[in-house]
């Protein structure tokens, strides 16, 4: 007889079944199904308008689907509110950095750590008074090699540093599923290499689902690649299977879906 623990371990981290989203007649996501195992590094690629960010918005709860089902660690979260999904361990970043530009690096991290606490943040209260929250923020900044920049304002940092801080903030809540929406967008080649190296060092227990426009990053980071086009799943497989897929080659040679 299968035990509850072993049964739970066999349950995928995330399952999408026939997921769809329409906007006034436009089918942004069209009957997409996929299964993401625990600890996977899954990358979603596709041309502009393929439905990638809409898919993320459905998974995170920012949008409600018009059809289909989302299951997270065996729980149906299809119509669950964003804050409840966050409490279950789902965290995301965005294409555009979502930081507090006029606060220091350390205060941004403390606020991120505070998100799952009952403690109220007060702008003029010393950061040191938050105790264990500052300890967690300190650990993250040291892990990301950003401790020396803790007292700098976010707006004075490079775009690459801001991207790293956003990932650090996403990790503050100790997520089980991390959704990264084009984390290397706008970065220089050197910044892209640094961020990719950092992402590859993250805890292997964290399941990562990433949207990425940079094919070098996508094929370097992902163990499984999913290709979307016009809201539909066009292809899926390992790096070589997707790279050699004629339909995928057709898209990226400019012939369209």
Q: Is 50 exceeded by the pLDDT of residue 29?
A: yes
**Mean model confidence pLDDT for the chain:** 88
Q: Name which of 53, 51, 89, 50 is nearest 73 in CA terms.
A: 89
The residue with greater pLDDT, 218 or 113, is 218
Mean local confidence (pLDDT), 151-171: 92
Q: Is 90 exceeded by the pLDDT of residue 84?
A: yes
Q: Determine the Cα–Cα distance for residues 4 and 26; give it in Å rounded to an integer.
A: 42
Q: Name which of 179, 191, 170, 188 is nearest 13 in CA terms.
A: 179
Q: Which two tokens stand for residue 131?
A: 């105790």
Q: Range with the lowest mean pLDDT among 31-45, 71-85, 168-182?
A: 168-182
Q: Which two tokens stand for residue 256?
A: 């369209």
Q: Range with the lowest mean pLDDT among 57-61, 94-98, 169-173, 198-202?
A: 94-98
Q: Which pLDDT band, with edges at 50, 70 and 90, does 110 fall under?
A: confident
List of residues 6+ apart from 128 with CB closer than 8 A: 134
Helices and strands in the chain: count of H runs, count of E runs: 10, 10
Q: Determine the Cα–Cα distance for residues 130 and 122; give it in Å rounded to an integer.
A: 10
Q: Determine the Cα–Cα distance for residues 162 and 160; give it in Å rounded to an integer.
A: 5
Q: Which two tokens stand for residue 145?
A: 């090699």
Digit-coded pLDDT (tens) for 164-195? 999 999 898 889 999 999 999 889 999 999 99
What was the pLDDT predicted at 1? 34
Digit-coded pLDDT (tens) for 112-140? 887 666 555 555 555 556 677 888 899 99
Please give the share of the chain, as a percent, with pLDDT higher than 90.
68
Mean local confidence (pLDDT), 81-106: 87
Please give the share of the chain, as a percent, with pLDDT higher than 70.
87
Mark 123-132 as b/e (b = at least 16 C-beta within 10 Å). Answer: eeeebeebee
- Three-state secondary structure call for residue 37: coil
Q: Which two tokens stand for residue 103?
A: 């606060």
Q: Which pLDDT band, with edges at 50, 70 and 90, does 3 fall under?
A: very low
Ordered by start, the domain boundaries in the chain are 1-89+181-257, 95-174
Q: Determine the Cα–Cα distance for residues 147 and 8; give it in Å rounded to an integer.
A: 38
Q: Range with the lowest mean pLDDT among 5-19, 79-93, 158-172, 233-247?
A: 5-19
**Sign of the alpha-carbon dihedral angle for 67, 68, 73, 74:** positive
Q: Determine the Cα–Cα distance for residues 40 and 111; give it in Å rounded to an integer.
A: 28
Q: Which two tokens stand for residue 219?
A: 């094929």
What was the pLDDT predicted at 2? 38
DSSP secondary structure letters along 61-83: TSS--SEEEEEETTEE-TT--HH
List of residues 6+ apart from 59 with CB closer than 8 A: 14, 16, 70, 90, 179, 209
Query: Which CATH topology does 1-89+181-257 take?
Result: Rossmann fold (3.40.50)
């Amino acid at each position: 007889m299968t035990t509850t623990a072993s049964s739970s371990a066999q349950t995928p981290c995330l399952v999408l079944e026939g997921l769809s989203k329409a906007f006034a007649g436009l089918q942004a996501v069209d009957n997409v199904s996929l299964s993401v195992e625990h600890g996977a590094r899954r990358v979603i690629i596709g041309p502009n308008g393929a439905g990638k960010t809409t898919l993320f918005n459905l998974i995170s709860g920012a949008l409600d689907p018009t059809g289909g089902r989302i299951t997270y660690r065996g729980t149906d979260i299809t119509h669950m509110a964003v804050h409840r999904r966050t409490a279950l361990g789902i965290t995301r970043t965005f294409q555009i950095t979502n930081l507090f530009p006029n606060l220091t690096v350390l205060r941004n991290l403390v606020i991120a750590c505070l998100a799952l606490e009952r403690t109220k943040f007060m702008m003029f209260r010393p950061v040191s008074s938050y105790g264990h929250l500052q300890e967690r923020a300190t650990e993250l900044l040291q892990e990301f090699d950003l401790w020396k920049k803790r007292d700098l304002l976010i707006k004075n940092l490079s775009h690459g540093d801001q991207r790293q801080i956003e990932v650090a903030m996403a990790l503050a809540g100790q997520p089980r599923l991390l959704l990264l929406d084009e984390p290397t967008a706008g970065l220089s080649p050197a910044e892209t290499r640094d961020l990719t190296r950092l992402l590859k060092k993250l805890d292997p227990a964290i399941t990562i689902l990433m949207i990425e426009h940079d094919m070098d990053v996508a094929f370097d980071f992902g163990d499984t690649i999913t290709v979307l086009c016009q809201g539909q799943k066009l292809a899926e497989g390992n790096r070589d299977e997707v790279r050699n897929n004629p339909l995928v080659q057709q898209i990226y040679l400019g012939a369209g879906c």
